Amino acid sequence: MLTGNKGEWSEIYVLFKLLAEGKLYAADEHLRKLENLFFPVFKVVRSEAQSSVHEYISENSVPECTPGEKVRIYVDGKEVACVLRDKFRIESAVLLNELSDSRKKKSFPVERTETFMKKIACGQLKAKSKDKADIKVGLIDIHTGYRPEVGFSIKSQIGGLPTLLNASKTTNFIYKVGGVKEDVVREINSLYKADKADKADKADDEKHIDVKARLKRLKDSGMGISYFGIENRVFNDNLALIDSRMDRILAETLLYYYRDGCTHCSELVKRLEEENPMEYGNIKAYEYKFKKFLTAVALGMRPSVEWDGRDEASGGYIIVTHAGDVVAYHLYNRNYFEDYLLNNTKYETASTSRHGFGTIYENGDDKFIKLNLQVRFV
């Protein structure tokens, strides 16, 4: 029996919903569906096991569902099933009801949905993908008649909040500590979050480091901290494609987060504009560059993989809203997408033990500390 979390089941919901409605609606910067702005959908494509290509093609190329209209299903070019389009409407409603059940927390089965998936030759929840595109959608440009097949990344508001940039050691930024006071360094490295699990005899690497408390104590002690570099060369090079000083801009925002308590990305950008650490003549450069960073991460750039600057999710983002609407930020509406990303993301603290950051350490004659970057939707 198939089991998955709400985010994974949401990929199937998007498949059903697109085929049921025959439309992919656009959204504004506040994630509100634009009823009068949509792209007709004539095909949906998923890659599954052994790289097999599953195509779901509507008989009509118009979004309005006609009585008896069918969706033809092909696997590697061979027709394997034919299903009434209205069935996708019924099954999408059933699946949404399951996803909206607050009692379902982690991984769970949906027996009825799995039965229908078998009928439409859909064998797994999460499509196979080597890039950021979770699904490909054949769209019709109603103005030109152009019928591109473009890839979309899928995010769901149902269930837990998804991450935009996942933490890893690759996303560690290194800072040099100046004006070192050895007794204060020892004090800083002894600061942990107070919880029931942190017993006196517990090993340091099993405790929860209080990174924010450590940065605050470092600041209050009079010791200085300055950006030194990114731990991973690939991530550094990827950021340089966006802007030659993108790493330094992000390094400043990490200090605003860990040391000063700023959390939301929009708040971090305002702080950049106030302090202007890069001494730009036009402070709107910070918002512009930060949006480009968020968009690059959303559409293709991964910290650990060498990036060529191209969008892998060539269509944009599909989002399942809390209400069950399936809306998209198509790259035709890039400004809306960039505004949405800036206003709906935040920094957060990942596992310090897993990713190796938050402790002052010695390298040669100097002291350093690493801070980690992780971005999550709000």
Residue 318 included in any domain: no
Q: Does residue 218 sit in the same domain as residue 130?
A: no
Q: Does residue 60 sit in the same domain as residue 109?
A: yes
Q: Does residue 97 sit in the same domain as residue 137?
A: yes
Range of the domain at 347: 165-313+327-377
| pLDDT value at residue 235 | 98
Residue 25 included in any domain: yes
Report residues of the chain scoring pLDDT below 70: 61-67, 129-131, 195-206
| pLDDT value at residue 3 | 94
Q: Does residue 141 sit in the same domain as residue 231?
A: no
Output the pTM of the full model: 0.86
Q: What is the pLDDT of residues 282-321, one digit of tens each?
A: 999 999 999 999 999 998 899 999 999 988 887 889 999 9
| pLDDT value at residue 145 | 79
| pLDDT value at residue 33 | 93
| pLDDT value at residue 202 | 47
Q: Does residue 147 sit in the same domain as residue 211?
A: no
Q: Using H for helix, E for strand and C for coil, what is the string for the chain?
A: CCCECHHHHHHHHHHHHHHHHCEEEEECCCCCEEEEEEEEEEEEEEECHHHCEEEEEECCCCCCCCCCCEEEEEECCEEEEEEEHHHHHHHHHHHHHHHCCCCCCCCECCHHHHHHHHHCCCCCCCCCCCCCCCEEEEECCCCCCCCCEEEEEEEECCCCCCEEECCCHHHEEEEEEECCCHHHHHHHCCCECCCCCCCCCCCHHHCCECHHHHHHHHHHCCCEEEEEEECCHHHHHHHHHHCCCHHHHHHHHHHHHHCCCCCEHHHHHHHHHHHCCCCCCCCHHHHHHHHHHHHHHHHCCCCCCCCCCCCCCCCEEEEECCCCCEEEEEHHHHHHHHHHHHHCEEECCCCHHHHCCCCCEEECCEEEEEEECCEEEC
Residue 1 included in any domain: no
Q: Does residue 145 sit in the same domain as residue 169?
A: no
Q: Does residue 216 sit in the same domain as residue 361?
A: yes
| pLDDT value at residue 313 | 80
| pLDDT value at residue 244 | 97
Q: Does residue 36 sit in the same domain as residue 182?
A: no
